[in-house]
Structure 1
């Protein structure tokens, strides 16, 4: 068939437009193509990676759905274009019903932006080829032309089909009340998004929270899950009654919001983008270090998010932070180098005692033993773990007066997240996440588990572990915006949360709570 040859031809136009009148068979044709192109055994040249029926969608909501299918947490059309540009793998996208889109012109702009990349192919269905797409010189299959149709098969289908052009989503529903949390959580989220996009009213803070949470609300989920996401994204300038309403609606979602800080919050203040989190230990227990986009390290109370101050020295390009047992902070910069800072929450020696402190502190000695460029960092007890771009994890440990080093190749590609736990017998357990989408477990001095703890077709962006009263827990942040929480030693089902933005950082706390950091917010959740 011509469309399959077009997919295989490297010199063909990057856009194919399937056009024709209502009930000419466009939907049937694309349904057949999607079925053929998503089979497990389909060859790479014919595989489809994304399919979004555009009826009722704007460029924003179409971007959210495409991002989810492509393993990204893009929040805007621009974010989606950037994510597709960065991933050079072949990407084929089907976009039916352009003529039923909520804002066809903005969707056409998105299509044109995606069509710039050589590794992208787009199949767009519309009744007539719009001017914006004509400028791309696309391949066109006008199903009104006899050359594209088998008249006998088409007649059989047309006689049995109820409708080949489905009504846009939400067209049969009454308009939601955009000021009412129960209404917006319980109806078609695409319709809600389109109405919030067009509205200039803040709707008590619901509009900002909805657009901040993005694709976490338009993906398939329950009203309770939508309420939880909205609750987490709600700013401090919102109608205070919304918190109680959303808390009630979120019952059954698996989580409760302990506290949150979102962009623009003043009291208490938002600490900035949470690109990395480090949980205090020993003398700094109860503190969490938050690293922003400028490399500034701020300290907050784990219990309620109250500010504890900031460290005086920024680390430009900082990508990870970890507390040592002695209260020091190891910070990893964008060049893979470690630097040391001292937490403001640890009492400092004064007078004669400060003059007599000549020996290097444990964390200082451990960091001095790091000899490789690092891509990830964790501290546990008397050990510092770091990963590199080749997938190897190294652990530097204090062994009396000497430094011991262990290393293990655990991933294909870069190590992107590390977490450590000090076990009762004094040994250390290391969890690692990688660009290869695997989470591994390893104890230095022993062979790692042969199989991954978790594996997805998606990179790990953040990792954290904690010893809680109910046993060890592990929190994983994934590139597609999913946060996964699980008890390591039990077979209990994991819990999940999607903030709607790319997950930059996670933190597991000893009381069982977790913290999730994005560019827009920092939220603390407790399992419910």
Structure 2
């Protein structure tokens, strides 16, 4: 069933791993048409997914007339052999791992974690990179070494990973936001617990589920909850108190900070820059502002419209978006690197991109699960991204 759900989710530009998750995503949007059925899929599973999705009447499901299954391989794929797994039909591998519950050194866990990315058409090196990023901490060392060799030639290499199970160092809870403070990666969990990477919690939970975080130069950490209210940890200031009071009456949808400026997005597509000299505003998006990033005097905003705009408070926005895709932006982060300001972007379909100054190409990565947060590592220009189960740092080639 997982392979069929992942294939359908990829077609629709969403992230889902179960029929219930796919159903939930579809119900939250406009009515869609979904075409199911492809060579290699079990026809009974396709029919069952079609039946489940049709129950709510919100999606038109068309089942294609295809063969019940692809021709079986001449001999079964060794599910403990990463090279064979990366080169085989991903739908067959997914079905095999669903039936075979042996761990295979951590390879099965990694496959089922990154599966939605793995069933896309790609070369074995790209598939090996996604598997390497998704490996559990307790994976066999030889498996990690072999996948690293197989990933040679990919546009990314994996610098380090953390997950929520297995050996230390461990990722404590689902990550809601990432940023940098005092030169270190700062992590906010959904509960509002804030910690540096591999350190004990340094701040108490917030009173609501956290959706965004920003750090100010004076050590103040700002947290935005799911109701659009602002929570302050640390010294605070008259400015942060004023922003907190403003958002109590007019909830925010996105948050960032740079220097002594606090930036807030709203559901109408506007970005508000609260600074010592007053409030500046720009309205770059059609619909909700979903993510903000800032460094120096530069501000990037992402929206439900899928666009990312660059703006400077007190100045005009750029004439064209930095990037735009047909699905909502879910996370942004910017930082100064040795080459200049770099920007990380993530979208609701599970794709992350790293925009670097002077680079001819923009490398992209799909971890498989939904991306909750991204960050640019200032010292190296690497990309950190978080899902519900893992945090991974990637180095662009």
Short-chain TM bin: over 0.9
Q: CA deviation at 1:108?
A: 2.9
SS of the residue corresponding to residue 293 of structure 2 reads: strand
Match of 1:374 in 2: 252
- CA 1:94/1:313 → structure 2, altered by over 3 Å: closer, same or farther? closer
3-state SS of paired residue (1:175): coil
What does the per-residue CA deviation read over 1:135-184, in whole Å, with 9 as the maximum and x for residues that have no partner? xxxxxxxxxxxxxxxxxxxxxxxxxxxxxx65833524532111111111
CA distance in 2, matches of 1:63, 1:167: 16
1:15 alignment partner in structure 2? none
> What is aligned with 2:364?
496
How do 1:65-80 and structure 2 match up within 5 A? 65-80=7-22
Give the CA deviation at 1:293: 2.9
For 1:116, the equivalent position in structure 2 comes to 55
CA distance in 2, matches of 1:222, 1:434: 32
**Match status 1:508 vs 2:376:** yes
**Aligned partner of 1:293 among 161, 168, 190:** 190
**1:419, distance to aligned residue in structure 2 (A):** 0.4
Equivalent residue, structure 2, for 1:320: 212
Moved segments of 4+, more than 6 Å: none
SS in 2 for 1:319: strand
Matches within 5 A, 1:208-247: 208-247=109-148
Q: What secondary structure sits across from 2:95 in the alignment?
A: helix
Aligned-partner SS, 1:484: strand
CA shift for structure 1 position 407 = 0.5
**Structure 2 residues without counterparts, runs of 5 or longer:** none
Deviation of 1:383 after TM superposition, in Å, equals 1.0
**Structure 2 contact 206–231 (Cα < 8 Å) conserved:** no
Q: How do residues 143-158 of structure 1 correspond to structure 2 at under 5 angstroms?
A: none
Q: TM-score, normalised by structure 2?
A: 0.93
Q: Deviations over 1:472-527 (max 9, x none)?
A: 1110010000001111x436110011000011110111121111011111111112
Q: Quick one: distance in 1 between partners of 2:189 and 2:133?
A: 19
Task: Measure how far apart 1:377 and its partner are.
Answer: 0.5
**In the alignment, structure 1 residue 390 sits paired with structure 2 residue 268:** yes
Task: Flag the structure with larger Rg.
Answer: 1
Q: CA deviation at 1:73?
A: 1.4
Residue 169 of structure 1 is matched in structure 2 by 70
Matches of 1:313 and 1:115 in 2, distance apart?
Answer: 41
Could you say if the C-alpha distance between residues 97 and 271 of structure 1 is closer, same or farther in structure 2, counting changes exceeding 3 Å?
closer
The answer to whether the aligner puts 1:262 opposite 2:201 as a matched pair is: no
Corresponding residue of 1:457? 326
In the alignment, which of 222, 225, 238 is matched to residue 333 of structure 1?
225
For the residue of structure 1 that corresponds to 2:252, the secondary structure is coil
C-alpha separation in 2, matches of 1:223 and 1:434: 33
RMSD in angstroms over aligned alpha carbons?
1.9
**Gaps (5+ residues) in structure 1?**
1-58, 127-164, 301-305, 343-360, 423-427
Q: Secondary structure at the match of 2:13?
A: coil
